[in-house]
Amino acid sequence: MPVNLSAPDAAALLAIPGVELGAAYAGIRKAPRADLMLMRLCQGARTAGVFTRNSFAAAPVQVCREVLAAGGPVRALVVNAGNANCGTGKAGLEAARRSCDAVARLLGCDAREVLPFSTGVILEPLPVELIESTLPACVSSLAAGNWGTAAEAIMTTDTVAKACSRSLEIAGRRISVTGMAKGVGMLAPNMATMLTFIATDACVGPGALQTMVREVADVSFNRVTVDGDTSTNDSFILVATGQAGNAEIAGSAAEYEMLRSAIAQVAVHLAQSIARDGEGATKFITVEVCGARDEAEAVRVARGIAQSPLVKTAFFASDPNLGRLLMAIGNAGIDGLDIARVNLWLGDVRVIDAGGRAASYSEEEGARVMKSAEITVRVDLGRGAAQTTVWTCDFSYDYVKINAEYRT
């Protein structure tokens, strides 16, 4: 059960002029639920992306990188759930390209204008013929209002679809932003989450769009972790269709900040949704670290806490076994950390005062906070002005169950 998260109201998701979506069941995943999604983009749309840093980047990630590096237009995205097409060698690359070919034939564009995405089991051959035979059904269902259906079609072990919208006004023009994401396990994105697609009808310059996708990833998907395992298929794609009629936004403009802020809001909501729906999650944990020398140091401590199995099982048990937080901070490898300057709060309760247990701390107060479904851990390292926030979930029996039984 996701923590304080329900499926999005499909009617509240804003259509993005220039983007149409379709979905169908290809039979790649066993559960008979749509597992193939097609997104068609209008002429003139611009696309930027960031991808996993895992060395075993999946075949579709390799194809996406080639397409985006070539700098040509992108007219469609094709996404399958149930098979990651990773560790599949040359046959996997060929399968990814064949799915692009099939899309190109149906939409009348070039195969080098199609981005492929896959998510699911690694090391299994992708049954591309199922994609080829099901794509016509996706094409016939293409519609601008399909964000809800599309978000469902990219799910794997997700229990609810993840999508949301924001709108803003730039120079008198109404701009819409809608995004969707999937991913609840093998999740510690490094430059992107498993699969996220955000589109806006704003007109954005190509350089500015690429900068924006990185900046947004850094404050959203790169700050969420479920199990510390970075996926082979992480992809975050940002599309700007240019249909809103605004003047092209450059990286230095005030409008850039406005649009980036709206897109970051969508991305942060999706990133938090991922942790709320983390495999087996019963709690949503926010880890705030301040007083660091630089942001990298703050991130190291925050991730150290958010990824420690011992910290996460204590949250699951609602057990204020808070020494484990100390252990995790101490393991972050911060050179010359003066533990006498470290302070820590659990929700509104002071736990660590100058490196030791706070005199005011009581087990009852700690237990009270640990019972909440949403918990904030705040650490002050007392050595600088940099800070960060990372979101995660607890570690339950169900995490083991879900991952022990994933393929069976």
Catalytic residues: 193
The neighbouring-strand residues paired with 376 are 286
Nearer to a second copy, 88 or 241 (CB): 88
Q: How far apart are CA 170 and CA 164, in angstroms?
A: 20
CB 95 within 8 A of CB 126: yes
As a 3-state breakdown, the chain gives helix, strand, coil percent values, each rounded to 5, of 35, 25, 40
Q: Give me the least distance between CB of 344 and a second copy, in Å please.
A: 10
Nearer to a second copy, 84 or 266 (CB): 84
The residue to which tokens 């009270």 are assigned? 368
CB 28 within 8 A of CB 80: yes
CB 130 within 8 A of CB 28: yes
Q: Give me the least distance between CB of 202 and a second copy, in Å please.
A: 35
Nearest Cα to Cα of residue 338 among 295, 296, 293, 371: 293
Q: Give me the least distance between CB of 228 and a second copy, in Å please.
A: 7
Nearer to a second copy, 20 or 158 (CB): 158
Nearer to a second copy, 150 or 298 (CB): 298
Nearer to a second copy, 52 or 272 (CB): 52
Q: Give me the least distance between CB of 316 and a second copy, in Å please.
A: 5
| Neighbour tally for 374: CB within 10 Å | 12
Q: How far apart are CA 170 and CA 372, in angstroms?
A: 40
Task: Fill in the amino acid letter for 313.
Answer: T
Q: What are phi and psi of 93, to 5 degrees?
A: -60, -40
Binding footprint of a second copy on the chain (CB under 8 A): 53-57, 84, 86-92, 121-125, 185-186, 227-232, 308-310, 313-314, 316-317, 319, 321-324, 326-334, 337, 339, 352, 354-357, 395-397, 399-401, 403-408
Q: Give me the least distance between CB of 197 and a second copy, in Å please.
A: 22
Q: How far apart are CA 359 and CA 365, in angstroms?
A: 12
